Structure 1
């Protein structure tokens, strides 16, 4: 954090007194001034430029500062401007600055202040704003998940900060090398985090900037630690499953019974269940889909739950709701699809969601945090000594399939792994049951 120069601090205290700021509040004003000066230094903004204030306010809003704090910070910066009047441009000091949608740059409103907005020059500002929007567009056109967008945008924000808002035309492979090395050496991130950063920047350079950053040699790689997944025994799985209430019991049974990822399970719609064929269609990562067998033992429960979803859909239609949330422009292709039963979420949320932009009430699926909370509670009741999460059910599924002598390639397809090496990690969780004396195949 930048220290305020002694002369500036002295003059700032004087102007606080002249403006009737109580002595017990002056410390807060000085704190906000330090934050502002540090913000301008970090992102190469002109500290005496009035245009930097809305950007600073935008940053505070993105950090979930409340309205009172934001207004106090605004007043603190305005008083700093008043001190610098003789050096500031001819624009008057902003009076009665209000926090509203017009005070925040357009891009920040669109992206909900998810990244720092740049200044320094209008062209540079627009260049980075366009880059963030370009990233959003490129990810959406490829139908990547919202979590991928959030991750990539987060890494781009860190890269932007690291390069001190460098002109985008001057970005090169050396910037990437230094950033990745900094992550490993200074921040001590994990190998997986460093790989995420690399993938995010590779995507950004290739699809947004439209250029390759070539070979990335000389980067200090984060040490990859061996990881063996946590696996529950069949007995432990059933101990946990009996502690759930509806609908979390069915969610967990599908996670384990079909080897699903949590987002795959929650994104299931009515149309994905084919009870006659006993097949479940799963929409996985990267827009890929696969089919897995529906566990026969829970088929009656699934059908009963589907009946509840049907009744809820009828109530929603009677209340003139606008349908389930639809993605990938499906509703533009199939008008009114959101109200059709086959397009309803298999695990619908309890309440409707109001969409401000369209002024509609729509229904979303269960939120993943609710499921994770329920799993944590169920594991606690079972008194397990393992750290079990939603993904633990998927690990257990793969391990138990291996123990049942299923082929590794079959398990790879059922899990939706692109590379069999990902599936091979489960071989470390299974003890060999076929220990034999070593022989040559010629002697078989």
Structure 2
């Protein structure tokens, strides 16, 4: 019997259900029949928004094929029933609009946008087009976009960054269609300026000491020791490691830029032990069938280790990159070098670490001490 596992997770500020299964064309095609199920390039998984109705829909849809559904992890996260305003239910796209959306995706790809950006713009545009069908209009006016903005984003309490992505995606679609519309009047909320969560050196040590699996330990150690984004680490190939110059070559990262970052001597010992044990052939970190490793698996490992060390901070894979930059700054590294290592286009982005650096804060004399 074929088996499918349903797992709780979060994506773009929403609670979701990830749909995991060994690659199988029949399962994939059956899952895609559900209009609310999406594919996430970031998670490398099919998913849908977590709700009671979507859980029931998934169970019934999968059981139509008499396949086994493992939903034990979902049982632990019970969703209370709500008597609030009914959720906005969007109709399915017509075949013609689905085809146009496919053409729009190819158009975006020709603009050499990143895969994540392309997938996000296509996803939010699909929601907008379905909303237009709900409103029985093909007039994509500023008024319709503002209504969509309120009903689909504001009332659903979606993040500011997601709201801006929606507006950007719709703008690109209208440009693709050759529709002239003035979107500058649509007010965009300012993104919250939040300082990154940073781990101490002792906390980083504790997390790594709590990981026994060699592959997991090597991957997470790489994120911290080189200050990498998870996507950059998973895209690394064996020949990107330059042990003679003690550098790591990051190719075509965010903004389509190449850069070099540090290769730690201590990490290199760990990397060599990992290489001998796993013998990757193409990507440095391989998952099943020689494909790239999943960042969802890496996040799960980190989460478990953080829980075991009883660290009460919110820790993600990106926290390791933030901690790398902050610790460099506290050790006296020039901010311009940190900017180059992280691959930031502007020094303003890197300057955020001056706000979380213990060294810079310790040098400030508190006036209360003078009383």
Give TM-score, length-normalised by structure 2: 0.68
1:392, distance to aligned residue in structure 2 (A):
0.8
Alignment counterpart, residue 394 of structure 1, candidates 321, 324, 336: 321
Aligned to 2:61: 66
1:234, distance to aligned residue in structure 2 (A):
0.6
1:401, distance to aligned residue in structure 2 (A):
1.6
> Separation in 1 of the partners of 2:237 and 2:116?
20
> Separation in 1 of the partners of 2:161 and 2:180?
22
> Separation in 2 of the partners of 1:410 and 1:181?
43
Q: Please state if 1:270 is matched with 2:238.
A: yes
> Separation in 2 of the partners of 1:270 and 1:424?
32
C-alpha change, 1:391 and 1:377, in structure 2 (3 Å) is same
Alignment counterpart, residue 180 of structure 1, candidates 133, 145, 149: 149
* 3-state SS of 2:259 partner: strand
> Separation in 1 of the partners of 2:238 and 2:91?
40
Aligned to 2:206: 239
Alignment counterpart, residue 102 of structure 2, candidates 133, 143, 146: 133
* 3-state SS of 1:292 partner: strand
* 3-state SS of 1:405 partner: coil
> In the alignment, is the contact (CA less than 8 A) between 1:240 and 1:382 conserved in 2?
yes
> In the alignment, is the contact (CA less than 8 A) between 2:219 and 2:233 conserved in 1?
yes
Unaligned 5+ segments in structure 1 are 1-56, 72-114, 120-124, 314-343, 353-362, 438-444
* 3-state SS of 1:66 partner: helix
* 3-state SS of 2:248 partner: strand
Q: Please state if 1:149 is matched with 2:101.
A: no
> Separation in 2 of the partners of 1:391 and 1:61?
29
RMSD, matched Cα:
3.0
> In the alignment, is the contact (CA less than 8 A) between 1:250 and 1:302 conserved in 2?
yes
Cα-to-partner distance string for 1:213-255 (whole Å, 9 max, x where unaligned) = 3342153x44643312111001111111111121111111110
> In the alignment, is the contact (CA less than 8 A) between 1:259 and 1:415 conserved in 2?
yes
Aligned to 2:339: 412
1:429, distance to aligned residue in structure 2 (A):
0.8
Alignment counterpart, residue 365 of structure 1, candidates 292, 309, 316: 292
Unaligned 5+ segments in structure 2 are 1-31, 38-56, 67-89, 367-371
Q: Please state if 1:346 is matched with 2:284.
A: yes
- Bigger Rg, which one: 1
Aligned to 2:263: 294
> Separation in 2 of the partners of 1:280 and 1:168?
52
C-alpha change, 1:217 and 1:68, in structure 2 (3 Å) is same
C-alpha change, 1:251 and 1:68, in structure 2 (3 Å) is closer
> Separation in 2 of the partners of 1:212 and 1:251?
47
C-alpha change, 1:116 and 1:153, in structure 2 (3 Å) is farther
How many residues of Structure 1 are paired with residues of Structure 2 in the alignment? 288
Q: Please state if 1:118 is matched with 2:93.
A: yes
Alignment counterpart, residue 200 of structure 1, candidates 169, 172, 180: 169
Q: Please state if 1:229 is matched with 2:196.
A: yes
C-alpha change, 1:61 and 1:428, in structure 2 (3 Å) is closer
Give TM-score, length-normalised by structure 1: 0.58
1:280, distance to aligned residue in structure 2 (A):
0.5
Cα-to-partner distance string for 1:393-444 (whole Å, 9 max, x where unaligned) = 011111112212223232222112223332222222124244489xxxxxxx
C-alpha change, 1:131 and 1:240, in structure 2 (3 Å) is same
